Chains A and B, each alone.
Chain A
Amino acid sequence: MEFFRIKKDIPFMRHALKFNIISLLTFLAAVVFLATQGLHLSVEFTGGTLIEVSYPQAAELEKVRGALGKNGFSDYSVQNFGSSRDVLIRLPLKDAGASAQQGEQVMQALAAEAPGAELRRVEFVGPQVGKELAENGAMALLVVIVGIMIYLAFRFEWRFSVSAIIANLHDVIIILGFFAAFQWEFSLSVLAAILAVLGYSVNESVVVFDRVRETFKKARGLTTPEVLDHAITSTISRTIITHGSTQIMVLSMLIFGGETLYYFSLALTIGICFGIYSSVLVASPLVMWLGVSREQFIPKQKKVIEGATEDGACV
């Protein structure tokens, strides 16, 4: 069985401009959503209290809201979580001392007004901790980007490094854009997913670039777009199969993982799909615009004939 029987190199680069415009539009849309709507940050970042309760039968959200309102809570949000029997209550931060007690107060209020609730989980995050988590998250993102850039700069020349990182940052912004557009909850585990997928899909660009380098050395007389087309065409099968396999796993988490892993796997799914797209169809045109050419890989004419695959790194 073989899925990809590609007779000719697919002329991706002929459409380079179109791809770049699509990317730019998606990117801009993501930025607009981020700017106008903002991320729906989870309690971990904002601070506050999160209480999950479960009822033996379908929960009556109105009653729960009533119970909270009567007991002096304000700015709360009450919604179903996963099933109609599970309820998620969010409370904003209060004074440090008072917030720590909110879990018990809510359970007392519920016991009086909407009985039958079983406490599933309480999460309380103080303002200081929330701020730190947000700062550390941003720091982690920065370190990943810088680390990968340094690695790529060692591995390739700067044009590749810059294009790969731009392509992948474009993924990150787009994932964030999705979370802003649909107001999905952005939690620490979503951040972990984004960083993991960032490290994963940069590798995709590496594979294509390896092939570009190899092709430049091996085949003379090809124009730069033709080289890029060949590199992409000959790696596309591998790209789709590996991402497909990873996606199978992520899909399994999306289906079986429940509410807790839902947004985590959703971020991964978007990341993987855009990872394929961007590393192939964004990074490569960028390399082309940045003016990559055969001369950059072969300092001496002689070397071409002898050492076609000396770096060996390619698929």
Chain B
Amino acid sequence: MNRYPLWKYITVAIALVFGFIYTLPNFFGESPAVQVSSAKVTLKVDANTQARVEDALKSAGITHQGIVLDSVGVKARFKDTDTQLKAKDAIERTFNPDSRDPQYVVALNLLSASPQWLTAMNALPMYLGLDLRGGVHFLLQVDMKGALTKRLDSQSADLRSMLRDKNIRHAGIGREGDRIVVRFRDADTRNQARNAISDSTTDLALADLGDGSDLKLVATLKPEAEKKIGEFAIKQNITTLHNRINELGVAEPVIQQQGADRIVVQLPGVQDTAKAKDILGRTATLEIRMVDDGPGALEAAIAGNAPFGTEVYTERGGQPLLVKKQVVLTGDRLTDAQPGFDSQTQEPAVHLTLDSAGARIFKDITRDNVGKRMAILLIEKGKGEVVTAPVIRTEIGGGRVQISGRMSSMEAADTALLLRAGSLAAPMDIVEERTIGPSLGAENIQKGFHSTLWGFVAIAVFMIAYYQMFGVVSVVALASNLLLLVALLSLLQATLTLPGIAAIALTLGMAIDANVLINERVREELRNGMPPQAAISEGYERAFSTILDSNITTLIAGLALLIFGSGPVRGFAVVHCLGILTSIFSSVVVSRAIVNLIYGRQKKLLKVAIGNVWKPGNTAVDRKN
């Protein structure tokens, strides 16, 4: 009765082997590395970059322990942190000769030191949270109201110019709170205006108000439009943050949306919060200006005396360009930028969409400047870069602008992204900040590890002393629980935090409950005079439903924490819930398999080593039964 079919043993063995393999990377630790990734969307990191890294190291006489190229960038491993720092300087010099204008992100990183075959099968060490490795965590609140107000402002400007174009006379137009109010003197004009507005945009809901000679048309944003604006604002802010954080030289930044209007930014290893905040809060803008192509003007400007009202910028490609200081159009007027193809030449192109005020300005300017060049600049930190400077071929109306010529489709996609990402769509506030120093992180790991280790040892000693052989089995089951839990956490790459480590310890402390239940039950059956084999079997069977009960109630608490918890609580809950699942398996299936292996084959089992079983014989039940 205490024998498992072969497949059950095999299942247990496979589970343990799986646990062992995926736990393994955690023992190899991490080796220092330098990571090179692109700081610009337009710059791709490829095999060439890898070769350059190798050359740079060779010429500096630094030995590395392997260079790999992955989706993030090129990573070079070193044997100690001294070499790592030297290598970083060497690589930095090669890749970013001009430190004011970095082309690449050269960052210090830690790479798993586990052998290649482990990494190949996706066995990675646990992903440590910021409280264990040090770094900064920001929670940014996107000001949706700000985004909407901004949109309403530009919308009312659009309406004004649209009504003027169509010759509809109104008595004033303006934003009042979260609505646009247009005043009219008579009902006919109002009807005309209403039709014109609903033809031009679908984002606005219109309502009539007022009477007599003071008639009003009230336009509010439709809920769908508000939602769209909100989603666009978040997406664009995230893209912008990505680009900015690239400059910080962070190896593995996390930038994620949280809830409807929040963004989480985690920068492992960053200590300089002031700089991080500065970069996060910075604004970048897009500007369209005219190029001064006058004969000799550029040469004069490079020689040091630029014509009045112009300045020199560098085009992407490296050529200098003389650009007028007067700004024609700013990025506020840009509603979208998408990569695509020229409908006639099939050349890659970027399609820009301007709002109606922007479209009108653009129409005027292109009509007056056919044959000349216009420059599209990205201004950041007061420093501008010419993204592209196309020649105007014809007057462009309708607010749809196409930039094409001398562009690969990749470049088109990158330019579109850059234009979209240039500025923040809505202002953001930091609503939560956590900074953890690296020494505290290392200490936290140490503390968590010691807690678990000594707790485990104490429980093991007690269990073995109290239950002898069954105690040993329980401890082995508990160890396999730990193994499986760590393997699962490594496999899922769930973020491990200090509360997470506490949850590992607590889960182990609670998991032993199942084995105590089983062992007590077996003892009890023996006490009632059952033969050992039957007692073992009964003990396991009967204890099972209680084990299930206890784990379900704990799981209810764990799930509630998972759903409602945030931050440290969530880290705790994830590990706790996973731990409950692994503990059911290990305490019931694994421990039974071991017991079966030890005792199952002995036909005439007279005694099991579960400690002395003391027989009382006269409790109330015994007496009355």
Interface residues of A (CB under 8 A from B): 1-3, 5-9, 44, 52, 54, 96-97, 100-101, 103-104, 118-126, 128-129, 132-133, 136-137, 139-141, 143-144, 147-148, 151, 155, 188-189, 191-192, 195-196, 198-200, 202-203, 206-207, 210, 215, 218-222, 226, 229-230, 233-234, 237-238, 241-242, 244-253, 255-258, 260-261, 264-265, 268, 311-315
Contacts and interface: CB of A to CB of B under 8 A. Distances in A.
A218 B624 CA distance: 11
Contacts of A44: 567
A-B pairs, 3 with minimum CB distance: A199-B557, A249-B509, A252-B455
Contact of A126 (B141, B444, B521, B573): B141
B561 A192 contact: yes
B614 interface: yes
A63 to B, nearest CB: 21
B451 interface: yes
A238 B624 contact: no
A129 B506 contact: no
B546 A210 contact: yes
B549 A206 contact: yes
* Residue picked from A9, A219, A238, most chain B C-beta under 10 Å: A238
A202 B262 CA distance: 37
Nearest to A220: B624
B458 interface: yes
A253 B451 contact: yes
Given A128-B431, A249-B506, 16 more contacts: A2-B613, A8-B619, A104-B273, A120-B439, A122-B434, A137-B569, A218-B621, A226-B620, A241-B466, A241-B520, A244-B462, A245-B463, A248-B462, A260-B444, A260-B447, A311-B545
A143 B573 CA distance: 14
Given A121-B437, A206-B549, A257-B502, A200 B451 contact: no
A234 B521 CA distance: 11
Please classify the interface of chain A as helix (H, G, I), strand (E, B), loop, or mixed, using the class held by over half of its residues.
helix
A103 B556 CA distance: 38
Interface in B410-436: 429-436
A206 B435 contact: no
Contacts of A148: 553, 556-557
A249 B505 contact: yes
Interface in B525-557: 541-543, 545-546, 549-550, 552-557
B455 A203 contact: no
Contacts of A312: 541-542, 545
Contact of B549 (A101, A147, A203, A268): A203
B621 A222 contact: yes
B513 interface: yes
Nearest to A135: B564
Contacts of B435: 103, 119, 121-123
A248 B619 contact: no
A128 B141 contact: yes
Given A192-B565, A246-B510, A253-B505, A233 B625 contact: no
A222 B625 CA distance: 10
A249 B508 contact: yes
Contacts of B371: none
Nearest to B498: A260
Contacts of A226: 620
Contacts of B358: none
Contacts of A260: 444, 447, 498
10 contacts: A100-B433, A133-B566, A143-B560, A191-B569, A203-B513, A206-B549, A215-B621, A246-B506, A264-B499, A315-B521
Given A122-B433, A128-B431, A252-B505, A222 B569 contact: no
A5 B458 contact: no
Interface residues of B, number: 87
A210 to B, nearest CB: 6
A144 to B, nearest CB: 5
Contacts of A121: 434-437, 440
Interface in B553-581: 553-561, 563-569, 572-573, 576
A8 B454 CA distance: 37
Contacts of B566: 132-133, 136
A20 B465 CA distance: 36
Contacts of B517: 238, 242, 315
A251 B431 CA distance: 35
A1 B563 contact: no
Nearest to A140: B564
A124 B141 CA distance: 14
Contacts of B524: 234, 315
Contacts of A264: 499, 502
Given A188-B567, A313-B549, A5 B560 contact: no
B279 interface: no
Contacts of B458: 248-249, 251-252
B516 interface: yes
B55 interface: no
B542 A1 contact: no
B614 A5 contact: yes
Contacts of B463: 245
A191 B572 CA distance: 11
Contact of B556 (A151, A189, A245): A151
B527 to A, nearest CB: 10
Nearest to B625: A219
B612 interface: yes
A96 B336 CA distance: 31
B53 to A, nearest CB: 33
B129 interface: no
B1 interface: no
B352 to A, nearest CB: 34
* Residue picked from B436, B444, B463, B554, most chain A C-beta under 10 Å: B554
Contact of B554 (A5, A125, A203, A311): A203
B621 A1 contact: no
A3 B436 CA distance: 46
A182 to B, nearest CB: 21
B277 interface: yes
A152 to B, nearest CB: 8
B126 interface: no
